[in-house]
Amino acid sequence: MTSLNDITQQAGRDAAPAVPFPAGFRWGAATAAYQVEGAAAEDGRGPSVWDTFCRTPGKVLGGDTGDVAADHYHRFGEDVGLMSGIGLNAYRFSISWPRVQPDGSGAFNQAGLDFYRRLADALLEAGVEPWPTLYHWDLPQPLEDAGGWPERDTAHRFADYAAGVHAALGDRVRHWTTVNEPWCAAFLGYASGEHAPGRREPAGSLMAAHHLLLGHGLAVQAMRDRLPGNRFGAAVNLYAVSPATDDEADADAARRIDGMQNRLFLDPLLNGRYPEDVLADLAPHGFAPDPADLPVINQPLDQLGVNYYTRHTVSGRPGEATQAVSSPFSAHSPWVGSESVRFVTRGRPVTGMGWEIDDRGLHEVLTRLHREYPAVPLYITENGAGYDETPDGGTVHDAGRIAYLDAHLRACHDAISDGVPLRGYFTWSLLDNFEWAWGYSKRFGLVRVDYATQRRTPKDSARWYAAVIRRGGLPDAG
């Protein structure tokens, strides 16, 4: 096994970067509670929608669950050691709502809060800044039983939960992310049913999206009132979107998908309104959110998290070659209001998820945000590549992941040179982990996890990333 010393020493031998990032840039990696923690029934944690979903036959590949995952709950000390070996100066993790407030309302579970206090302390001691996300999809089951995100009350429960976590951790955590990828939580969870809770209710999914945004706004209000010095934001999964051809129908398909994927979230968060064309597309589904919620959603943001993986190329004409956009389980579309749109494969190289690799799309997303929306400090809160991988001679030679990360970091650098206020980059993921409906079949980690032994093995990409951080940038493209 490669030791941490090896990681650091190799990084130390590298020359000054030809492509330097600004001083103070956050170099991070990300995980999420249900994907890494395990300890699903320990120390008072209650069930979440994902515990229930994983136990529903046919929902997750191989019948996998997050019961043990990467056992981060018990091994976080070792994992923090890995982070400092790589040289990360920030770690994005999520707080498990059912671990700290098992019923989703009412009493908090002190043992759950203590876990995150210990984690934050270990990080701070190692010089790694803790960046928690409050909601990465593990809704407490009792709240789902009461109607889930389509119910307005869930947004208020989320704000109460956020205030409770903030009271416990606000003294040691400065940067807070409210909701992660509300598009996925709303539309994979409540429209296509590929994700927990597996409901297929188009109208309900739209209200889920609205209430996730409302929950974000209410949570920011609740936390900022408690301790004004902290920094607050959300993390949205944005895509570059292109029409397959210059045909008008394809242009309209691109407008719709950009509307549902990007603008449905960015416009209320940053401008305090839903886009008119998207509201018109969604009117047949009865989407008529209360306009009084918009100023609540539109809280001043201190940071915006961008999760970027690929581009959508779309056609509005029948008969184009198409590809599934998310998992192989989808029988229903997550694209409410855009059902006639087809996703076109361009034949570019793909990751193990089947997602086309398109680093220029990241530059496009960042410069578009800078051009079209009010200025806010940006962070890449997720970016990475998942593959089916096998270890080779005590490590993993993940050249594909290194090439992916290198290309996307160059896109970030170009965006910074173009004036985009990009302040940090968190790769997805620190560790191999539970990839939702794909179970453990896809690996995104810088560090391999052998799930039978829980042994951690840094991959080539961990050493590569350590060298990038140590140099403060990338070498010449060569």
* In the complex, minimum distance from the CB of residue 233 to ligand IFM, in angstroms, rounded to a whole number: 16
Query: Does position 382 bind ligand IFM by CB under 6 A?
Result: yes
Q: Which residues pair with 240 in a beta bridge?
A: 311
Question: What are the phi and psi torsion angles at 452 (to 5°)?
Answer: -75, -35
Residue placing its CB nearer to ligand IFM in the complex, 26 or 136: 136
Q: Could you tell me the smallest distance in angstroms from the CB atom of residue 246 to ligand IFM?
A: 31
266 contacts ligand IFM (rule: CB under 6 A):
no
Specify whether the backbone of 76 is left (phi greater than 0), alpha (psi in -120 to 50) or beta.
alpha
Interface residue with ligand IFM, options 435, 459, 463, 470 (CB under 6 A): 435
Q: Is 339 exposed, middle or buried (0-12, 13-18, 19+ CB in 10 A)?
A: exposed
User: 152-169 and 110-125 helices cross at what angle (nearest 10)?
Assistant: 50
- Give least dist CB 181 to ligand IFM, A: 6
Is residue 360 packed enough to be buried (19+ CB in 10 Å), middle (13-18) or exposed (0-12)?
A: middle
Pick the binder of ligand IFM from 307, 327, 338, 427 (CB under 6 A).
307
Looking at residues 157 to 186 of the shown chain, list those that interact with ligand IFM (rule: CB under 6 A).
181
> Count of residues binding ligand IFM (CB under 6 A)?
7
User: What is the rounded CA–CA span in Å between residue 118 and residue 350?
Assistant: 39
Residues annotated as catalytic are 181, 382
Locate 59 and state its tokens: 């929902």
Looking only at the bridges linking them, the beta strands covering 378-382 and 422-428 are parallel
SS3 label, residue 51 = helix
> C-beta of 82: minimal distance to ligand IFM in Å?
19
Give the footprint of ligand IFM on residues 333-352 (CB under 6 A). none
From the number of C-beta atoms within 10 Å of its C-beta (0-12, 13-18, 19+), residue 347 rates as exposed
398 lines the binding site for ligand IFM (CB under 6 A) = no
CB of 183 to ligand IFM, least distance (A): 10
Options 115, 274, 428, 440; binder of ligand IFM; rule CB under 6 A: 428
Query: Is it true that the peptide bond before 197 is cis, omega within 30 degrees of 0?
Result: yes
Q: What is the number of other CB atoms lying within 10 angstroms of the CB of residue 118?
A: 12
Residue 205 or 307 with smaller CB distance to ligand IFM: 307
Q: What is the dihedral of CA 76, 77, 81, 87, to 10 degrees?
A: 50
The answer to whether residue 320 forms part of the interface with ligand IFM (CB under 6 A) is no
Q: With respect to ligand IFM, which residue has the nearer C-beta, 62 or 478? A: 62
Number of neighbouring beta carbons within 10 Å of residue 57: 6
Q: Is 267 in the site for ligand IFM (CB under 6 A)?
A: no
Residue closer to ligand IFM by CB (options 168, 186) is 186
Q: Which is nearer to ligand IFM, 267 or 435 (CB)?
A: 435
Give 171-222 as a DSSP string: TT--EEEEEE-HHIIIIIHHTS-SSTT----HHHHHHHHHHHHHHHHHHHHH
CB of 101 to ligand IFM, least distance (A): 21
Residues contacting 343, CB < 8 A, separation 6+: 312, 313, 314, 322, 323, 324, 325
In angstroms, give the least distance from the CB of 319 to ligand IFM.
29
**Which of 32, 143, 240, 336 is in the footprint of ligand IFM by CB under 6 A?**
32
Pairing of strands 19-20, 473-474: antiparallel
Nearer to ligand IFM among residue 250 and residue 382 (C-beta): 382
Please, which residue, 32 or 474, has the CB nearer to ligand IFM?
Answer: 32
Angle between helix 72-86 and 460-471 (nearest 10): 50
- Orientation angle between helical segments 460-471 and 4-12, nearest 10 degrees: 40
CB of 309 to ligand IFM, least distance (A): 7
Q: For binding to ligand IFM (CB under 6 A), which residues are involved?
A: 32, 35, 181, 307, 382, 428, 435
